[in-house]
Amino acid sequence: MPWQTLIERSERLPACADLAEGHAALMQRLGSVTPFELAVVGARSMATPGLAFLVGYQAALRALWPSAPQSLGALCATEQRSLRPADMQTRLADLRLSGRKDFVTAGDAAEWLLVAARCEAPDEPPRLSLAVVYAGEPGVTLEKLPALPFMPDISHGRVLLDGALCELLAGDGWDAYVKPFRTLEDLHVLSAMTAWLYGVGQECDWPQALQLRLLALLAGCAETSRHNPSNTATHVLLGGLFAQFQGLDAELNDALANGPAPWREMWTRDKAVMDIAAGARAKRLAKALG
């Protein structure tokens, strides 16, 4: 991680309404970077918390699939608010996908999609494969969903698949991809949001002690990013990082209250994204500590 790049002040990229175009501009600026560097240095240069979140999400996708294209992508797993393989109806047969994914981050703007699909034979237990499809190909339809009350600048979509031709990724869809992605997303989004706040702190001259604590949290994220996301120790370390982040809440609120209103208003509106996966994360931590 090129820490000096983060510590030195840099200009933010202007917000772009076209998420795919904005992502392309960011990747052109950064060049070749690791997923963690993308999450931290990329999110630091974003204009809003929502755009910083999206950078962290893209970084997590690349940690999951190192061969991912440079363009905007999305993981399509959730069906009827569930991630359980037994609840999924999307099916893979002869390299073709059919089904529906209901809630896909930036799904309507993504150029490629990682789709979790059932692939077991009749009378076998549910089993998943992970397949790649591309927006605009026959049988792939993307629908934009209404904006959420937080991060309104980040769209969400529904994906409809009707015999869409796909490419398969090696390995079990659940154990190798869907399950570890939840940990990878938590880590890279935490890194991205922390880096975004650090950037705001630099611009607003927050107390040095708070800026240093944010940097220390990022250093912990960097170390955790080196660990296998499926290991119990990683879940414990991640739990510690989130506890550290939550411990900064009062200081962050005070610093934002004493600075320009737009930063405070954006963070107040969007910080709820950090709580979305809190329940699942708590269960993983309890299991790891048990």
* End position of a domain, from candidates 115, 138, 168: 168
Do 181 and 238 fall within a single domain? yes
- H helix runs in 32-158, sequence order: 35-37, 43-44, 49-64
4: confidence class by pLDDT, cuts 50, 70, 90: confident
Alpha helices in 120-248 (DSSP H): 179-204, 208-224, 232-246
Q: Are residues 133 and 233 in the same domain?
A: no
Co-location of 107 and 136 in the same domain: yes
* Domain closes at, from 115, 147, 168: 168
Mean pLDDT over the full length of the chain: 94
* Structural domain for 210, as ranges: 3-65+176-289
Average pLDDT over residues 264-277: 94
Contact 73, 91 (CB under 8 A): no
Measuring CA to CA, which residue among 91, 89, 63 is closest to residue 75?
A: 63
The pLDDT value recorded for residue 1 is: 60
- pLDDT above 90 covers a percentage of the chain that reads 88
pLDDT at residue 234, rounded to an integer: 97
Domain count for the chain, please give it.
2
191-220 pLDDT tens trace: 999 999 999 999 999 999 999 999 999 999
Q: Hey, what amino acid is at 32?
A: S
* Model confidence pLDDT, tens digit, residues 16-56: 889 999 999 999 999 999 999 999 999 999 999 999 999 99
Which value, to the nearest 10 degrees, does the dihedral of the CA atoms of residues 218, 221, 225, 230 take? -160
167-168 vs 140-144, strand pairing mode? unpaired
CA 66 from centre of chain: 15
Question: Amino acid identity of 222?
Answer: A
**pTM, 2 dp:** 0.96
How confident is the model at residue 74, as a pLDDT?
97
The residue among 135, 152, 168 that closes a domain is: 168
CB burial string 160-190: b at 16+ within 10 A, e below? ebeebebeebeeebbebbbbbbbbbbbbbbb
Q: What is the mean pLDDT of residues 112-116?
A: 97
- For the chain, what percent of residues have pLDDT higher than 70? 100
- Whether residue 129 is found in the same domain as residue 44: no
End-to-end Cα distance, the chain? 33
DSSP 239-288: HHHHHHHHTTHHHHHHHHHTS-HHHHHHHHHHGGGGGTTHHHHHHHHHHH
- 41 and 108 co-located in one domain: no
Residue-wise pLDDT tens digits, 50-98: 999 999 999 999 999 999 999 999 999 999 889 999 999 999 999 999 9
Q: Tell whether 115 and 145 lie within a shared domain.
A: yes
Q: Look up residue 210 and give its amino acid.
A: L
The per-residue pLDDT for 174 is: 96
